[in-house]
A and B are shown apart, each in its own frame.
Chain A
Amino acid sequence: MLARDDESPPKRTPLHALHLSLGARMVPFAGYEMPVQYATGVLREHQHTRASAGLFDVSHMGQIALRARSGAGADAAKTAASALERLVPQDMVAVAPGRQRYAQFTNESGGILDDLMVANFGDHLFLVVNAACKDADEAHLRRHLSDTCQIEPLADRALLALQGPRAEQVLAKFCAEAPGMRFMDAGPHKVAGLDCFVSRSGYTGEDGFEISVPAEHAEQLAERLLADGEVLPIGLGARDSLRLEAGLCLYGHDIDTSTTPVEAKLEWSIQKSRRNGGARAGGFFGAEKILAQLQEGAPRRRVGLKPDGRAPVREGAALFADSTASEPIGKVTSGGFGPSLNAPVAMGYLPKSLSAAGTQVFAEVRGQRLPLKVAATPFVPNTYKR
């Protein structure tokens, strides 16, 4: 039999051995073997994160340093930020040193190529992008920004997220600066004596931190954080239910190249300076469409959805205006059970006319039409330290 080499084996993060020793169930995700849950189980992992502190391995995500080819210090960071504004509708120049901002790479038709975090590290920018998109993102950056910037993927770094109301007190034992940080602060800090990049942000709706650590020290740092009685390891299963309750988009599901930032209800992330009449209006891919939608509205909108009953309504379920309509008007892009709400929750797209909170629609699940109501997001209030 011939060996097949067209399917490369899944990659492993620096914490792979630790996951196995903690009883994780490993699943393929975005080309990596990742823990979907530990022995604790998704439900309790979710609840523990909301009540105390959870540690997530998100080392599969891409970390990229973006540096200007000329200049030094703040000027260099500003050059890189100006260049990056060609690829995102956000104001990158205004991101102060030590701060981070949420952004999207857009394409010519206004669709979203990926969503990302961009931090100003004083003399360069630090980007965190989705695992499934990181190679394409890197190529996109090289293609469009190589004239002025160096693009350096930081493949030798792991990424940990410590999330939940006790995250601050836990991290304070290893990083004196942690308690002084506020939501979306980001910068290089020592954590347990290691050269880390720390941001006060996350993907759970809870207060918390993301910690980029050199790969060779990642296991050691994870073990020290897990040794704290407040901290449990949390898998991708709970990461998904936590971000869904927080109303946060998952790339490839709630947003993709077919959805614009305005359709996805992400216009809060597009600053005035990049909109019509702003100091640096437009100048990014898809600007014509996105700027028009910011003024006139989008024909469809991402909405939160709460099923009336107990049955979860999952990704892909078609949405209908009433219980007998034959033509779907939208679809569910994320859905499941919200452990903190003890109820099913979902997100999806609906025509603008049906996107107001309280509007009743129906989802088709196993041949039945289940009633849902459009609901405000986040479903669970966030607890960021602003």
Chain B
Amino acid sequence: MTTLFTSDHEWLRIEGDVATIGITDYAQSQLGDVVFVELPKVGRSLKKAEAAAVVESVKAASDVYAPISGDVLEVNDAIVAEPALVNSDAAGKAWFFKVKIANTSELGGLMDEAAYRAHTA
């Protein structure tokens, strides 16, 4: 199992041909209190860099972009019911959605944890 990161502050946990995607703890701290989450429909075919989900704080709405291409396999309804989970456990229970990785070469452009830490430092 590998965890990769994007410069847009998303994380991807890679297990076989499935990627679980969420936003980083840094991202949630920048957003502030999350009050609304909208997730993609299961089965939707996401293209890399298209808007896939929405996360809203009291003040503002932010898009979550698909970090890689792939079909949506599963979404986390727990964060729709309880958006504050995104603040309390961004890297764990508050995952957003899972995709079937369409093109493993897209993983090459992502950062490992050390590189991401340097990016947010």
In the complex the two chains form, is B58's CB within 8 Å of A311's CB?
Answer: no
Can you offer 12 A-B residue contacts whose CB atoms are under 8 A?
A36-B59, A42-B57, A42-B59, A43-B33, A46-B58, A237-B58, A237-B59, A311-B38, A336-B58, A337-B56, A337-B57, A344-B36
In the complex the two chains form, is A241's CB within 8 Å of B58's CB?
Answer: yes
In the complex the two chains form, is A42's CB within 8 Å of B56's CB?
Answer: no
Q: How far is the CA of A308 from the CA of B82 in the complex (A)?
A: 18
| B64 shortest CB reach to chain A, Å | 12
In the complex the two chains form, is A42's CB within 8 Å of B54's CB?
Answer: no
A interface residues (Cβ-Cβ under 8 A, vs B):
36-37, 41-44, 46, 237-238, 240-241, 310-312, 314, 336-337, 339, 344, 366
B40 is an interface residue with CB less than 8 A from chain A: no
Q: Which of B22-77 contact A (CB under 8 A)?
A: 32-33, 35-36, 38, 51, 54, 56-61
Residues of A within 8 A of B60 (CB): 314
Q: How far is the CA of A37 from the CA of B32 in the complex (A)?
A: 9
Residues of B within 8 A of A312 (CB): 35-36, 56, 61
| B29 shortest CB reach to chain A, Å | 10
B56 to A, closest residue via Cβ: A312
Q: Majority SS of interface residues in chain A?
A: mixed
| B1 shortest CB reach to chain A, Å | 32
Given contacts A41-B32, A43-B33, 12 further A-B contacts (CB under 8 A): A37-B32, A41-B33, A42-B59, A43-B35, A238-B58, A240-B59, A311-B36, A311-B56, A312-B36, A337-B36, A337-B56, A339-B58
B interface residues (Cβ-Cβ under 8 A, vs A):
32-33, 35-36, 38, 51, 54, 56-61
Partner of A237, one of B32, B36, B38, B51: B32
- Of B38, B51, B56, B59, most A-chain CB atoms within 10 Å: B59
Q: Majority SS of interface residues in chain B?
A: strand
The 7 closest A-B pairs by CB, nearest first: A43-B33, A337-B35, A42-B58, A337-B58, A41-B33, A237-B59, A241-B58
Residues of A within 8 A of B38 (CB): 311
A366 to B, closest residue via Cβ: B54
| A368 shortest CB reach to chain B, Å | 10
Q: How far is the CA of A44 from the CA of B84 in the complex (A)?
A: 12
Partner of B33, one of A42, A310, A366: A42
Q: How far is the CA of A366 from the CA of B32 in the complex (A)?
A: 21
| B117 shortest CB reach to chain A, Å | 21
Residues of B within 8 A of A314 (CB): 60-61
Residues of A within 8 A of B33 (CB): 41-44
